Amino acid sequence: MHLRNGDAPYGSAVQAMRGWPETATAVAARYAAQGACEFAAPFGLDDLFNLTLRPTRRFAAEKHQAYLDRIQSKGWLTAWPLLRVVG
């Protein structure tokens, strides 16, 4: 069981990212063979590149206040005033 949120164990890093609060932060990169970079983004990269903060399905409903609290606690809107908050 995931200690922080009570989820069953994740089968992969991508599966874990599907449970993250925002679509734009659910992105991972790693250095791969022969100098290539591999990216994982289960919600795509559009929100990241378009400076959009959007909750994932779980955080748009049952955990919406946690999504809003996270935006505030991270200070993202102060650091990046062009961010657009959705939801």
Chain segment 13-43, per-residue pLDDT in tens? 898 899 899 999 999 999 988 889 999 999 9
N- to C-terminal Cα distance for the chain?
29
Q: 31 near 62, Cβ under 8 Å?
A: no
pLDDT in tens, 48-86: 999 999 999 989 998 999 999 999 999 999 999 999 999
pLDDT band at 3 (very low <50, low <70, confident <90, very high): low
Q: What is the residue extent of each domain of the chain?
A: 13-85
Phi, psi of 38 (to 5 degrees): -115, 135
Phi, psi of 29 (to 5 degrees): -135, 145
- What global pTM score does this model have? 0.82
pLDDT of 2 strictly over 90: no
